[in-house]
Amino acid sequence: MTAHHRLDTVVDRPLIISPDHGEVVAVSDNSSDRSAFAMFGTLTGIATLSAALVVGGAGVGLLVDEATGAPHVFVFLGLALGTLAAFLATRSIIRRFFR
C-alpha cells in the first residue's frame, strides 16, 4: 500500500480507497478465513452423510433379513452398498470443493 492511499474498513473487509477520486482501488480478501470455515463445513457434511449412508444401508439390510428370514446376508450387502455410496458421495463432494 502506498502512502497516498488510505485504508478503511467496511463490514469487516478492508478497502483501499484512492484519496484523489474516493474510489475503491482494492478490496482485501480474507479467503483463508472463509476457506477454513468452508472446509470445516464440508468435512462435517461428509462425515454426517457417510454415517447416514452406511447405517441406512445396514438398517435396510436388517429389515430385509427379518422379512425374508435370511441369516444376515442383506445386512452385509447393505453395509457394502452403503460404504460404496458413502465413498462415491465423498469423492463427488471433494471434487466439487476443489474445483
Q: Give pLDDT tens digits for 19-76.
A: 666 555 455 555 554 578 888 888 899 999 999 999 999 999 999 999 999 999 999 9
Q: Where are the domains of the chain?
A: 31-97
Question: Please, which contacts does 74-83 make with residues 24 or more away whose CB atoms are closer than 8 Å?
Answer: 79/54, 81/57, 82/53, 82/54, 82/55, 82/56, 82/57, 82/58, 83/53, 83/54, 83/57
Per-residue pLDDT tens for 2-33? Answer: 444 444 444 455 555 556 665 554 555 555 54
The reported pTM is 0.62
